[in-house]
Chain A
Amino acid sequence: MTATTTTSRLQAHKPGFGRLVLGEWTKLRSVRATVWSLGLLVVLDLGFTALFTWLTVSQWSKSSPAAHAAAIADPTSLIMGTGLELGQLTICVLGVLVITSEYSTGMIRASLLAVPKRLPMLAAKATVFGSLVLVLGVGVSLASFALGAPILHSKAPVSLGDPGVLRAVVGGGMYLCVLGLFSLAVGTIVRHTAAALTGVIAFVLVVAPLTLLIPGSIGKYVHAYMPSQAGQLITQAHRGPQDLLTPWQGFGVFCAWTAALLIVAGIMLNRRDA
């Protein structure tokens, strides 16, 4: 039969996970949202790092001794903090859109017809998106440090060779990577762009600070274990006096949150009708 003989001609490559990754890479690079989100990440991160470090230096004489002490104790955290705080929003948006745009446009049906076993599809998506954000995130973090450290040098000198600094800078990229996967998981669970985005932003920006209002030591503990709060500890060169968790413990907590959400996302994706 013609149908079967021509099919064999098409099987040029061996089936496997690699081809799914290739397909997901084409999907990711061929929509505008990817380009503008990641472009905005670079602009926001570098722009606010420069602005904030410059303001810190120019306002040095007017700021409190406590602020001086904090800056000198961990200049890396100060350099990484602001740019990341704003830049991370673009990763939240893109992470959610990577999956919810498939639902809103109907593309998910084409995706699942091509890859009917749904978990490999999600795994390929997470691999491609996570790798892209990791590479770009580490690059942006290094650039942000290279930009902020010289500005801050006269007041709080720091170099990549100092203990914990390189880990903190690379950690900025690792934080963005895991945040992207966190957003992807929420997007997969919620499926609607606006709702998923609200959920992620609420988690990252609103709920975490609110937990500080819980009275007593419970509030302190809850706050320390909130995903973004714990995750950002990796961008500090060393553990601060107030921190309940070390940088690596904090990052571990963030990874655990993300892994749990990805598992829930996988189960729901597998179970639901597309």
Chain B
Amino acid sequence: MIEVDDLTKRYGDKTAVAGLSFTVGPGIVTGFLGPNGAGKSTTMRMILGLDRPDGGSATVDGKLYRDLPQPLSVVGALLEARAVHSGRSAYNHLLCLAQSQGFARRRVDEVIELVGLVEVAHKRAGGFSLGMGQRLGLAAALLGEPSVLVLDEPVNGLDPEGVLWIRNLMKRLASEGRTVFVSSHLMNEMAVTADHLVVIGRGKLIADCSTEEFIASNTERSVLVRSPDGGRIADAIAAAGGRVSANGDGSLEVADLDSTRIWELAVDGGFVLSELTPRRGSLEKAFMELTRDSVEYGIPSGSASNGSVQ
């Protein structure tokens, strides 16, 4: 269980995290979502005692990270930036961490096998690929069989196989009753992994709800209508309470009215329909809509087309 209470972090006059409060519970995967620069990593680093908050607190199982006597047996963390000496072998990296916690040497062999690094365990970590580096980071996180996992962008830069592996691992860890808190700036990735979402933008909480709820309340449903009687059917739909907008290709985009009702209107009015397609707005789009105002370095509208970024 992770509890974040009114957490604040400032860098100079810039506020990275502004009075953030949320709770991450056990047994499910909780996604931590936000655009780049929203304060996800900073928040995680404060939970992990690496950065000092300017206000508020973050606790794990009711304790500050700094006060955990054997932290790796409570919290396993994978940070976005690499945290391995490039000149040290994977085995020795894990061994020194295990020794610092008083874990048995046998546990090092176990996690190396678990993440599939047996063949390269005695090679210098500096020569590892991005995927192998992530596996080593996860091995370190799992070393103490922790009840809480904090993973910062774990699928970043991984190939599809690696993404799938991490996704399944996170789900398995959650099903074992552990608390899994994972950050991402990719909405679609979270939609298939997370059960619950904490969404932030510019260091502030935007949403804290189940993934289903988030999708339902933030994706706009619409129906695509194509008809030779375009003008007349548009009037009928508008009269029935639907919002109609014309697409460039002569088709209509209808909101606030479902496809069954539009079908009935067409039958009643004797209109011909050549297409009637219910559409669900993409999650990615919903996320961008929601966080548009909170993107740190947004692209000014129009600048992409005429290239006049100043």
Contacts and interface: CB of A to CB of B under 8 A. Distances in A.
Interface residues of A, number: 41
A106 B145 contact: no
Interface in B46-103: 48-52, 65-66, 68-75, 77, 79, 81-89, 92-93, 95-103
Given A30-B89, A105-B82, A110 B97 contact: yes
Contacts of A16: 102
B193 to A, nearest CB: 19
A112 B50 contact: yes
A258 B80 CA distance: 35
A2 to B, nearest CB: 5
Nearest to A105: B85
B140 interface: yes
A117 B74 CA distance: 15
Contacts of B66: 116-117
Contacts of A24: 96, 100
Interface string B121-157: 0000000000000000000100011110000000000
Contacts of B73: 7, 10-11
B85 A4 contact: no
Contact of B71 (A6, A33, A113): A113
A113 B45 CA distance: 10
Contact of B101 (A27, A114, A117): A114
Contacts of A107: 83-85, 88
B107 interface: yes
Nearest to A12: B104
Contact of A273 (B45, B69, B97, B147): B45
A85 interface: no
A6 B74 CA distance: 11
Given A26-B92, A273-B45, A114 B97 contact: yes
Given A4-B147, A105-B82, A110-B97, A116 B68 contact: yes
A210 interface: no
Contacts of B96: 23-24, 26-27, 30
B40 interface: no
Nearest to B79: A109
Contacts of A27: 85, 88, 92, 96
A36 B95 CA distance: 22
B178 A3 contact: yes
A31 B124 CA distance: 9
Interface in A5-43: 6-7, 10-16, 19-20, 22-24, 26-27, 30-33
Most chain A Cβ neighbours within 10 Å, of B65, B93, B97, B177: B97
A11 B100 contact: no
B49 A116 contact: yes
B176 to A, nearest CB: 5
B152 to A, nearest CB: 11
Given A31-B85, A110-B97, A2 B72 contact: no
A271 B54 CA distance: 12
A274 interface: yes
Nearest to B75: A113
A32 B89 CA distance: 11
A66 interface: no
Given A105-B82, A113-B49, 4 more contacts: A2-B177, A4-B147, A6-B145, A7-B146
A214 B39 CA distance: 52
A7 B100 contact: no
Nearest to A108: B83
B83 A1 contact: no
Contact of A1 (B70, B144, B147): B147
Contact of B146 (A3, A19, A33, A110): A3
